[in-house]
């Protein structure tokens, strides 16, 4: 501080000025004052001060008040009582602390207090423990100090006990956190259980970054160590994380096995919260396997446990999952009830991110119901919350959903802009799965615009990303889309090859709906080639699957294709019967446009086969519906078909 000086007639150093106040303090208060430099300049809590001073709360409060009265420290504004050193005095106190030789002792005490605090609030977050969030800067300070002292053991204790806080609340510090985790291993950790926790935390970071191979390697290292030391709770937590990776990789039977192993261990050690989390994860996999009754059973078990332990955040998450099942079952009213219950809980606990996610789910229901204005309103609310929370990934996801609504409305330019914006964010946060999904959506728009070369470029980029991260379902969807482009171009061999690859992948992950859709596409290629028997075989397989999963739209589309084959084979009675079933389905799902299109296409097919009298009846039915739903261009087209039928 020798360079700092002030002139007021006579030059004198600030340090000498501060010495006057410092020397007036008792020896004990001098030590207490300089030890305050242990804390980050952002401030300190009385509880932390008591810990490093070794004083009772009342004595601490008296000493701090004396320092305030002497203008040595200031009160930091906020809900909880905190203090801080004035800027110049902070530098002065730090100099005194270094010269005293007590700095490492004081910092070690602060590190122990930080470990104790974060240990007591391990599963909490900013919403229910804001006082812990205020210690972020002090946590970072002691972590960096432990690293500078080459103390791998202490650093490991600090970065693992605060794992949940870094993961949820201190995301801006991830770069430093991951560097410290890796430094722990380099510096050496003698405690095997602690080393296991470090491997586990590194695996968590890698899983978030979608680096699944390295995540699994670190989780397995952690698993081996937890088993060696007999830490069943640690073993259970890692098995659940391994299950999460397996689930992401679409290795669903393996994921179920990991989750069940974790569940047994959680029950054995009486960890109700872990049991609830494992049950929810099992429900998630069952849902992916379309085993929805079993999924709902797991979710309801988890819900009871979350409520029993008072975990409202867990309760909110599982209610949202129950809503997802209800939405899949077309129980949209029930789904909205579950979502709104979850929304209330997210708001009660102040989880903005959960609130945003459930608003997005509500928007998904509204989008399905074609309540597009309401869907956009929900998505816009979610978007604001994601942006407020600086949740880039959520922002990207909801932008993609907004793009989906715009694409449905045939607002291709707006949809393309939303998808492109989401793509940029997915890339900025390193979310390769999101990037792949956005590229697939962009490819779909390009295909709709008949920009087939551009579509293939987008699809190929998406396919590479899905393959890189091992997302088999994504690969299957893109391969199907590439096959659609090739079918449009009449490149039937290539289309069939890609559809067959997609079919294998859909079957490997148990995606019945995807399997049905691609079987329908294979049937279309077979029909185009005149291979009617093979086409019928594919259509029949697809029809069984659509009926099994309750997809009436898919069922209707297959019946339409089968009716075309029957007409080409001159099986008019069968074709009319198939059309009758088809129309019933269209009416059940309220799809008037498709009903009219089915009648119109049937009429055109009859004319091409020389059956003009029968064609006229179906053309008139089509015209009537198109007129009713007010599509003048198609009314005009049907007038031409009727005229041709009457010629």
User: Given this model, what pLDDT does residue 13 score?
Assistant: 61
Structural domain boundaries, residue 176: 103-190
Mean pLDDT value of segment 584-602: 87
Between 377 and 576, whose confidence is greater?
Answer: 377
Write down which residue in 62, 82, 101 finishes a domain.
Answer: 101
Inform me whether the pLDDT recorded for 571 exceeds 80.
Answer: yes
Mark whether 139 and 185 lie in a shared domain.
Answer: yes
Mark whether 60 and 143 lie in a shared domain.
Answer: no
Across the chain, mean pLDDT equals 91
Inform me whether the pLDDT recorded for 88 exceeds 90.
Answer: no
Is 1 a member of any domain?
yes
Mark whether 71 and 165 lie in a shared domain.
Answer: no
Mean pLDDT value of segment 573-584: 87
Mean pLDDT value of segment 66-80: 90
Asked if 280 and 317 touch (Cβ cutoff 8 Å), the reply is yes
Mark whether 124 and 51 lie in a shared domain.
Answer: no
Mean pLDDT value of segment 620-629: 92
Mark whether 5 and 97 lie in a shared domain.
Answer: yes
Mark whether 87 and 166 lie in a shared domain.
Answer: no
- Residue 489, classed as helix, strand or coil, is coil
Mean pLDDT value of segment 395-423: 94
User: Given this model, what pLDDT does residue 27 score?
Assistant: 96
Write down which residue in 161, 190, 219 finishes a domain.
Answer: 190
Ordered DSSP codes for 96-129 = HHHHHT-HHHHHHHHHHHHHHHHHHTTT--TTT-
User: Given this model, what pLDDT does residue 194 score?
Assistant: 96
User: Given this model, what pLDDT does residue 382 score?
Assistant: 96
Looking at the DSSP assignment, which residues form a beta bridge with residue 13?
A: 5
Q: How far apart are CA 456 and CA 458, in angstroms?
A: 5
Is 458 a member of any domain?
no
User: Given this model, what pLDDT does residue 409 score?
Assistant: 85
Domain with residue 593: its CATH number is 1.25.40.10
Is 86 a member of any domain?
yes
Is 350 a member of any domain?
no
- For the segment 114-170, what is each residue's pLDDT rounded down to a tens digit? 999 999 998 887 777 889 999 999 999 999 999 999 999 999 999 999 998 998 788
Count of domains forming the chain: 3
- For the segment 278-304, what is each residue's pLDDT rounded down to a tens digit? 999 999 999 988 899 999 999 999 999
Mark whether 79 and 111 lie in a shared domain.
Answer: no
Q: How far apart are CA 271 and CA 647, in angstroms?
A: 80
Confidence class for position 564, pLDDT limits 50, 70, 90:
confident
**Which of 167-176, 407-416, 434-443 has the highest mean predicted lDDT (pLDDT)?**
434-443
Inform me whether the pLDDT recorded for 454 exceeds 50.
Answer: yes
Burial of 304 per CB tally in 10 Å (0-12, 13-18, 19+): middle
User: Given this model, what pLDDT does residue 16 score?
Assistant: 76
- For the segment 25-47, what is each residue's pLDDT rounded down to a tens digit? 999 999 999 999 999 999 999 99
Mark whether 45 and 109 lie in a shared domain.
Answer: no
Is 16 a member of any domain?
yes
Mark whether 45 and 22 lie in a shared domain.
Answer: yes
- Residue 433, classed as helix, strand or coil, is helix
Mark whether 607 and 622 lie in a shared domain.
Answer: yes
Q: Tokens standing for 28? A: 């004990």
Domain with residue 71: its CATH number is 1.10.10.10
Write down which residue in 190, 212, 236 finishes a domain.
Answer: 190
User: Given this model, what pLDDT does residue 10 score?
Assistant: 35
Is 525 a member of any domain?
no
- For the segment 494-521, what is each residue's pLDDT rounded down to a tens digit? 999 999 999 999 999 889 999 999 999 9
Inform me whether the pLDDT recorded for 6 exceeds 50.
Answer: no
Is 370 a member of any domain?
no
Mark whether 558 and 622 lie in a shared domain.
Answer: yes
* 180 Cα distance to chain centroid: 26
Mean pLDDT value of segment 377-399: 92
Q: Tokens standing for 60? A: 């601490």
Q: How far apart are CA 190 and CA 629, in angstroms?
A: 75
Is 318 a member of any domain?
no
Inform me whether the pLDDT recorded for 240 exceeds 50.
Answer: yes
Mark whether 8 and 55 lie in a shared domain.
Answer: yes
**pLDDT above 90 covers what percent of the chain?**
71
| DSSP-H helix ranges across 149-209 | 152-161, 163-168, 174-187, 192-208
What does DSSP assign to residue 19? H
């Amino acid at each position: 501080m020798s360079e700092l000086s002030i002139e007021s007639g006579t030059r004198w150093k600030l340090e000498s000025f501060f010495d006057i106040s410092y020397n007036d303090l008792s020896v004990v208060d001098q030590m207490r004052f300089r030890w305050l430099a242990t804390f980050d300049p952002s401030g300190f809590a009385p509880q932390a001060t008591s810990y490093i001073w070794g004083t009772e709360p009342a004595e601490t409060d008296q000493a701090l008040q004396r320092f305030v009265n002497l203008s040595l420290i200031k009160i930091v504004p906020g809900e909880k009582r905190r203090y801080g050193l004035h800027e110049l005095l902070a530098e002065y106190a730090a100099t005194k602390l270094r010269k005293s030789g007590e700095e490492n002792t004081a910092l070690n005490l602060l590190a122990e207090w930080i470990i104790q605090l974060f240990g007591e609030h391990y599963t909490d977050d900013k919403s229910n423990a804001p006082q812990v969030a205020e210690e972020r800067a002090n946590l970072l300070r002691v972590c960096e100090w432990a690293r500078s002292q080459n103390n791998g053991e202490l650093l490991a204790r600090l970065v693992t006990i605060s794992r949940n806080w870094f993961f949820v609340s201190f995301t801006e510090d991830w770069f430093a956190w991951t560097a410290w985790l890796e430094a722990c291993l380099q510096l050496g950790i003698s405690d095997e259980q602690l080393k296991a926790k470090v491997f586990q935390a590194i695996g968590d970071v890698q899983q978030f970054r979608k680096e699944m191979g390295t995540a699994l390697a670190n989780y397995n290292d952690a698993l081996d160590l937890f088993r060696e030391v007999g830490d069943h709770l640690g073993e259970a937590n890692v098995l659940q994380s391994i299950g999460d990776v397996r689930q992401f990789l679409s290795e669903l039977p393996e994921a179920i096995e990991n989750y069940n192993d974790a569940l047994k261990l959680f029950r054995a050690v009486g960890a109700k919260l872990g049991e609830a989390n494992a049950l929810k994860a099992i429900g998630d996999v069952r849902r992916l396997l379309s085993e929805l009754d079993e999924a709902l059973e797991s979710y309801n078990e988890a819900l009871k446990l979350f409520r029993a332990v008072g975990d409202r955040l867990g309760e909110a998450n599982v209610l949202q999952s129950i809503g997802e099942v209800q939405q899949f079952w077309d129980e949209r009213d029930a789904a909205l009830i579950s979502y709104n219950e979850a929304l209330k809980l997210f708001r009660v606990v102040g989880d903005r991110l959960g609130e945003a996610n459930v608003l997005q789910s509500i928007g998904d229901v509204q989008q399905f119901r074609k309540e597009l204005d309401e869907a956009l309103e929900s998505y816009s609310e979610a978007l604001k919350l994601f942006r407020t929370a600086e949740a880039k990934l959520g922002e990207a996801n909801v932008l993609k959903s907004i793009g989906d609504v715009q694409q449905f409305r045939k607002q291709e330019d707006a949809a393309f802009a939303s998808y492109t914006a989401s793509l940029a964010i997915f890339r900025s946060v390193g979310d390769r799965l999101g990037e792949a999904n956005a590229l697939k959506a962009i490819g779909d728009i390009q295909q709709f615009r008949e920009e087939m070369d551009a579509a293939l470029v987008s699809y190929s980029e998406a396919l590479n990303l899905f393959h890189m991260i091992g997302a088999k379902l994504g690969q299957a969807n893109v391969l199907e889309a590439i096959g659609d482009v090739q079918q449009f171009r009449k490149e039937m061999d290539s289309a069939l090859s890609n559809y067959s690859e997609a079919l294998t992948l859909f079957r490997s992950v148990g995606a019945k709906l995807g399997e049905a859709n691609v079987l329908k596409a294979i049937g279309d290629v077979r029909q185009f080639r005149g291979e009617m028997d093979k086409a019928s075989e594919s259509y029949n397989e697809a029809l069984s699957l659509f009926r099994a999963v309750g997809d009436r739209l898919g069922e209707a589309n297959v019946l339409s294709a089968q009716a075309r084959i029957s007409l080409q084979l001159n099986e008019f009675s069968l074709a009319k019967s198939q059309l009758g079933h088809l129309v019933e389905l269209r009416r059940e799902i309220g799809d008037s446009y498709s009903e009219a299109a089915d009648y119109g296409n049937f009429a055109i097919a009859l004319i091409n086969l020389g059956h003009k009298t029968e064609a006229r009846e179906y053309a008139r039915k089509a015209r009537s519906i198109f007129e009713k739903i007010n599509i003048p261009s198609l009314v005009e087209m049907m007038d031409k078909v009727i005229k041709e039928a009457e010629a």
